[in-house]
Chain A
Amino acid sequence: MKNFFRKVAFGLKPEEKVPSDPLTWAQKQVETIPELNWKGKHIYSEKEMRKHWIKQRVTEETVFRKKYKNDPDGLRRAEKQLENDSGMNFWPNNEISIRHAEAIRSESPVLAKLWYFWTNHFTISDTQTLPDFSTGAYQREFIRANMDKTFETMAYEGTIAWPMIMHLDNKDNIGPKSESGREEWRRREKEPATLNENHARELMELHTISPKGGYTQEDVQELAKIMTGWRPKYSKKLDQGSDVRFMSDRHEPGKKTVLGKTYKRGRKSLKIVIKDLVNHPSCREFIATKLCTYLITDKPTKEMITPIIKAWEKSDGHLPEVHKAAIKVAFEYNDKYKKFQNPENWWLQVINMSGLAYKYPVPERKMDNYMLGNLPSEELRESDWRLENIGYHPYRAKQPNGYSDISTDWMSTELIIRRLMYAKEAFHMYKTMDQLDLKNHENIIRSNFDDPDQILKIVSKAISNEEKHMILFNLPEVLKA
C-alpha cells in the first residue's frame, strides 16, 4: 500500500504520519490549486519575465553588433556581463526551486506530480533562450494555474501564450493571401508571407488528438491558416517580446476546413477549433493513455483508460475530475504494476524520503539575496546543472514532444550511473548529525515500505551510511513505484 505514496507523489518523509485513507488523501489534493509553497520574492508573471528576455535579445542582436563590430574580445566580455545583467544564469534555478518546493514542502505533492506531467505534455523545448527566462513562468501561469479548469482552457491558454507561440514558430506563420502578404515591401525586400505549419501540427499531434486522430497534411495546413496572425508584433525596441495578439492583417482570408468542419476567417476560429480538437474522442483517449503511462505502466490496458475517459466525458474535461479518476486507477493497480520513475521524479523522491527538505531546494533567503548583474554562486546554479546531468531538465527538452514516459528510455548505462552518483550527493546534503545518525535509514525504510525488514536486510550489507543511501535509492523498490 505504501508504494502508492511514491506512485502518485514522492513517498513519505522519515517521520511523516501515514495517511489513513490514501485514496482520499491523494484525490483531495487535486480539487483546488493552492498558492505556491515558495515564499521567495522572485515570482514573476510570464510577461514580467519577458522583460529580461527582451533585454538579453535586443542588447545582443542590436546594440552589441554595432558597438563591438571590430572588437571580438570586447564582445565576448560584454556578452558574459549581459548574461548576468539579464539574469540568464539565475532565473532557471529560481524557477526550479519554485517547482520543486511543490513536491517536497507543499501539502499537495500529488498535484505537483501531475503538474510535472502537464508541463511535459505542453513542452517548451530548448530554443530561443526560452528556458532561461520564460519556461518556468509559462509552466506556473498557463499550466498549473489551469489545473482546476477544463482541459480546453489549458489547451487554449497554453497555445496562445507567448512562449508557446515563439517556441513553435507561429510568429512566422503568415497568410500568403493576407493583407500583409500582399504588401509591396514583401516583394521589394523579398520577404514573402508563408505558412509555418509547425505549431498547427504539434497542436494536433502532441497537444490534442495525436496521430490517431487521423488528420492529413491538408488538415495541418488548414489549421495553420486558422492560426495565421497569432503572434507578437516585432519592434526594434522589444524585438519579438511584445504580447501575442491576433494581427488580422497577417491572417489568411477565407474559410478553412479542418477534419471536415469549416471555420470562418478571423480571431474567434482558433478558440472554436481548439474546442473541437479537445472534444474529439482521440484527444481524451490520448491523454487518458498518457496519464496511465506516466503513473502506472508503459503499456496501459483498456480497463485502465476507460474510467478516465468516462470521467472526462461526464465532466466535460474538467481536470480535477480527470485527475481524480487517474489517481483512482493508479490506486487500484497499485500492487500489480510498478512504474519506473523518470530521473526528476526519482530525485525528488530521494530528497523527500531522506527528509532533506531543509536543504533542498535552495532556500528562499538565498535566492532572494541574489542581485542582477552578478554571477550567481555555484550553490545557486547547482539545480540547473544537476537536472541536465540527470537527463531530465523540465525546461530543456530537446524536442517539442518532451521527455519519454517509457521505462527503457531511462535505463542506459550513463543514466544509471547518474542515479548512483546523485544518491550519494543527496546523502552529503545531510547535516553532519544526520549523516552520523545510525537510525536514519531505518526510519526512512519503516516509513515507506510495507515490508521494511526485507529492505533493511539488504541495506545492512552496506559498510557506511553513505553506502546505505546509495543502495536504498537504487533498489528496484525505489526506482519503481
Chain B
Amino acid sequence: MSRLFVYLIPVFVIAVFMVMAHFERRVAHDPTHRGFFDRNGTVLGIAFIALVAFWTLFLVVLPYLYMVQESFHPKLVAAERGGPKDILTLEQYRSFFIQPTDGEVNTTHLWAFFFSLAASAAVTVLNFAICYPLAYYMAQAGSVQKVRLLMLALIVPYWVNEILRAFSLRLLLASKGLINQVLMGLGLTDAPVDFLGNNVGLYVGLSYAYLLVMMFPLYNAVESLDKNQIEAARDLGAPWWRIHKDVVIPYAKPGIASGCTMVFMLSAGSLAAPQFLGGPKTLWFTSIVYDFFFQAFNWPRGAAYAFLLLAGCIALVMLMLRVFKVSLGETIR
C-alpha cells in the first residue's frame, strides 16, 4: 500500500501544470486562440497527449520516483515485499556514512564519492581548455567549407562506441602499449610507466569520451558572436587574452555552462571509462552502484547510492551556475 503513494506526486504535478496553463491562457487573452483539441483535431490531440503522458509518466517520472522509494526500503526478497518487513527506513543512506557491519565511518565510499565528483570536475576543466581554441577557431576564423569538414572529422570518431574507444586507449596506454614502447625506445624510461594504475588512463579516457559534448555547445555559442565586436576590441588596443576574457567568454557563457554541465554529468555518471581504464585501486562511484546491483544484489542500497550521486551532481552544478551567474534556463536552451 505504501508503495502506491508515489502516484500522488505526478497527479499533483499534472494538476499544477493544468492550473498554470489555464491561468496563463486567461492572462494572455487572445481571441484568435483555439483550444488544443480544436487546433489538432480530437483524435490527433488525444494521440499527442497520450504519447507525451506515456513518456513523461512511465519512462521518466514514475521510474525516478520508484527508485527513490526503493532507496527508503530495506533489502528484501520478492516474497517479503508488501509484507510486515516492508517498512520505510533510512538504513541505506546511513550505510553510506557508517559501515553497517562494524559501525566505522565508511571512508571507502565517502572517498569514492568525492573522488568521482572532483575528477569529473577536473575532466570538465580539461575539456574546456582543449576545446575552446578549436571552437573559437571554427566559429570565427574558418571558412564554411573548412568548418564543415572539421565538423565531420569531429563526429566520425564518435560513431565508434564508448567501449571500443576505451579499449583503443587501453591499447595505447597499457604497460606493453605503444606509448610505453616509444618512451622506452627513446630511452626516456627504463621500466614501462603505469598509466592505467595511476589514473592517467582514467582522465584521458573520460576527456576523450566527452570531447564532442563540450565542442558543440561551445561552437554554437561562439559562432553567433558578431565579428565586429572582436574587431572593435582589437582596434581599441585590447590584447588577445583580454578579447577572450572580456568579449568572447562573457558572450559565450551560456554555451560554456551547458557544455560544462553536460561533460560533468556524463563523466560523473560514466561507467565504461572507470571500468576499463581506471587503476585497480580506484573506486569510481558508479562502479560501486554497479556492484551493489550485480554482486551484492542489494538494490535498495544501490538505489540510495544512485540517488546520492544524482543529488550530489545536481547540487554541484547548481552551485557552479550560481558562482558563474548563469541561469539554468540559459543552460538548457
A-B interaction:
no
Query: Which residues of chain B have a CB within 8 Å of any CB of chain A?
Result: none
